[in-house]
Amino acid sequence: MVRVLIKPVSKTRFRGSGTFEPTVRGPFTYAETLPYPLPSTITGVLASKQYIKQLEKQLEVYDLLKELFKKLQCKFVNQLTVRPGYITVKKLNSSREEYYVALGEYYIKYEFIEKILTKVLNPYFNVLTELIKGNSSKADQILENLSNEITKILSDEINVRKYSTLTRIGIGLERGVKVTKTGYIYSASDLDLYSIFINPCRNEYVEEVAIAAEVLGVECNEAMRECFTARFAGEGYPAEVIADPQNIIMDKLEDKEQCLALIQLTPIIIQKDLRYLAKEYTPWTFKKIIEQMLDKIAEVYLVTGELAPLFKAELDVLIPGYSLKDDKYRDPELAIKGNTLTIARGNPREIYYKGLGEKSELGWGTILPIPVKDSICDKAAELAKL
């Protein structure tokens, strides 16, 4: 296993699946950063290390990643799988690193997620029970109370940080002569992770913040450490990239079947043979799709993308990155964007490594398994029968 840390020097901007240019969309446009980069942004910055060296071969990103880890004398590079979704924080005068999970508009300490689920799941089961009984008004009231409770839990400044941005106003320039274009005003928001994790009231200051991902399947020498500087994310802001033989989550997962809450961290690209399930959206659409994706490795009881503000998901179209080989954006794909929550029984290590959907080896469809009590699966199974 390898841990990859991408440390922005200052601010950064994580684009969605499109481009931002003041001249593209008319006389006024707005660019907003995502709370966390898409998987293609992370794999792209890693692949950039090998891109110039392998330019004549016209390799795709996955092949460039394999070349990179071959160069680092790692074994089993053909089994390489990237798992993003994390942020590491090292506070000033502390040797300990804290791992946060990027979930919606929040960054939540890994250890705190299980506590949130413990408080949330049983009340949510009550909502579903009332809906099945036909008591929609009572279900709405319970759901409203639950959403308020979740918001209260997420106000915990010790274990949770909320995404916030810095916004600036600018005007488009004629690129050749750098003369302003009349009427081409734009506004852009950037992300400063350092300011998000600083808490002066608690005397907490940050030494390092990094976008983090695990690379599973490869085995590297314990002394291996690769460092380089690269242009990162939407505007090509500089960042330090470090790869070392550590793990983030994998070693915390037991290699045995158990009851799990599966949290979607990155968009799931739906395979072509499953897209018929998304033709008509119903409350069971996500369950049907994810159940098929986890076929033979997990028993799925419940899937939701409607438990705000933590778990919100939608079917949408995205562009899964840029093809270096073809020198163009990849074709749009149908995907589940946002964060779904699945209750299932299975092996967490197997599910985490496999991921969901197409291009999961490149970080898409990353699923974080959180062990929960068996009683949660029992209740979810009872609801599934109704």
pLDDT score at 142: 92
**pLDDT band per the 50, 70, 90 thresholds, residue 21:** very low
Q: Given this model, what pLDDT does residue 57 score?
A: 62
Provide the pLDDT for residue 323.
79
Burial 150-161 (b: 16+ CB within 10 A, else e): beebbeeeebbb
Model confidence band, residue 53 (pLDDT cutoffs 50, 70, 90): low
How high is the pLDDT of residue 334?
95
Class (C level, CATH) for 253-385: mainly beta
pLDDT of residue 24: 45
When pLDDT is cut at 50, 70 and 90, the band that residue 256 belongs to is very high
Residue 270 DSSP code: P
Residue 252: partners with Cβ closer than 8 Å, 6 or more residues away: 110
Model confidence at 23, pLDDT cuts 50, 70, 90, reads: very low
Q: Where are the domains of the chain?
A: 2-104+163-251, 253-385
Gyration radius of the chain over CA positions: 22
pLDDT at residue 279, as a whole number: 87
Instruction: Give the integer Cα–Cα distance in Å for 334 and 295.
Output: 20
- Per the model's pLDDT, the better-predicted residue between 277 and 18 turns out to be 277
Question: What digits encode the pLDDT tens for the residues 153-169?
Answer: 999 988 999 988 887 77
Sheet harboring 166-173: ordered strands across? 28-31, 180-190, 166-173
Can you tell me the distance from the alpha carbon of 186 to that of 21, in angstroms, rounded to the nearest whole number? 9
Among 64-68, 183-187, 255-259, 272-276, the least confident range: 183-187
Q: What is the rounded CA–CA span in Å between residue 179 and residue 176?
A: 8
State which amino acid sits at residue 145: N
Contacts within 8 Å (CB) and 24+ apart, 154-161: 154/106, 154/108, 154/309, 154/310, 156/112, 157/199, 157/202, 158/202, 159/108, 159/109, 159/111, 159/112, 160/106, 160/107, 160/108, 160/109, 160/112, 161/100, 161/106, 161/107, 161/196, 161/197
Give the model's pLDDT for residue 166: 81
Let me know if 4 is exposed, middle or buried by CB neighbors in 10 A (0-12, 13-18, 19+): buried
Q: 22: pLDDT confidence band, cut at 50, 70 and 90?
A: very low
The reported pLDDT for the residue numbered 183 is: 66
pLDDT, tens digit (0-9, with 9 covering 90-100), for 80-130: 999 999 999 998 888 889 999 999 899 999 999 999 999 999 999 999 999
User: What's the average model confidence in pLDDT over 244-270?
Assistant: 95
pLDDT bracket for residue 145 (50, 70, 90): very high
* pLDDT score, position 61: 87
Across the chain, what does the average pLDDT equal? Answer: 88
pLDDT-wise least confident of 61-70, 298-307, 319-328, 360-369:
319-328
Instruction: Of 286, 273, 191, give the one whose Cα is nearest residue 235.
Output: 191
- pLDDT beyond 80 at 213: yes
pTM assigned to the model: 0.90
How far apart (Å, rounded) are the C-alpha atoms in residues 266 and 366?
A: 5
Identify whether 309 is preceded by a cis peptide bond (ω within 30 of 0). yes
Q: CB of 142 within 8 A of CB of 126?
A: yes
Of 13, 45, 77, whose CA–CA distance to 212 is shortest? 45
30 confidence band (pLDDT: 50, 70, 90): low
